[in-house]
Structure 1
Amino acid sequence: MKGAWAEERALRYLLERGYRLLGRNRRTPFGEVDLFLEKDGVYVVVEVKQRRSDRFGTPLEAITPGKVRRLWQSARYLLGRDDLPVRLEAVLVHGSPEDFRLEHLVLE
């Protein structure tokens, strides 16, 4: 898996900040959820996007409105109901395993 290092680094970052891992690479009828976590009673679906450079677009540009819609659908599918607190987040990884920076965002 090409971006496995980025997903691993993103997970470590989130765990260090008090998130609790519930699942990784969870498949749903709407697509795959990279990281499924919980923090402070809120379920969190995290999309991890990595780019070595911005030559073909930034990691954030790769998270399209359609992708956000599918993440919401996947979150509801994983939870099995609509009345639980959930939020979508992204960890954007800029660079390579040797030299990178992380950007952590809440998606609307």
Structure 2
Amino acid sequence: MIARQYLERAGLHFYAANVTLRGGELDLIMRDGETWVFVEVRYRRTSLYGDAAASVSYTKQRRLLHSAAIWLTERGGSFDTTDCRFDVLAITGSQLQWLPNAFAAAE
């Protein structure tokens, strides 16, 4: 997977991929030091209708937050007790764009 390899080369450590939970899926779960990183991977062949990063809507962000909260709860954690962030890795054509901290749990 291109996204995983890109993030591993950037220093993140892979934990899981395509984790399905009630109401959603987490594309990649990575570690950056002590921080859990939930990565939404988006792909668009062209930018004709907007680039891949723009396709992460407010509704999609809410679903990701909900899924991550469930995942953390299953492991005895929460947003209040666990360092985590939400990144987007957008691929438009052959262009890769990594957006660390693309949105926050408190938004």
TM-score w.r.t. the length of structure 2 is 0.85
Q: Over aligned residues, Cα RMSD in angstroms?
A: 1.0
1:22 is matched with which residue: 7, 11, 15? 15
Match of 1:102 in 2: 96
TM-superposed CA distance for 1:30, in Å, is 2.5
Q: Distance in 1 between matches of 2:62 and 2:10?
A: 26
Match of 1:12 in 2: 5
Contact 2:91 2:97 in 1 (8 A): yes
Q: Deviations over 1:36-90 (max 9, x none)?
A: 1111100000000011111222212210001111111111111112111110000
2:90 is matched with which residue: 89, 92, 107? 92
Is residue 32 from structure 1 mapped to residue 25 from structure 2 by the alignment? yes
SS of aligned partner of 1:79: helix
Match of 2:56 in 1: 63
Task: Structure 1: state its 5+ residue gaps.
Answer: 1-7
Is residue 79 from structure 1 mapped to residue 79 from structure 2 by the alignment? no
Contact 2:89 2:97 in 1 (8 A): yes
TM-score w.r.t. the length of structure 1 is 0.84
Contact 1:75 1:86 in 2 (8 A): no
Which stretches of structure 1, 4 residues or longer, exceed 4 Å deviation after superposition?
A: none
TM-superposed CA distance for 1:101, in Å, is 1.6
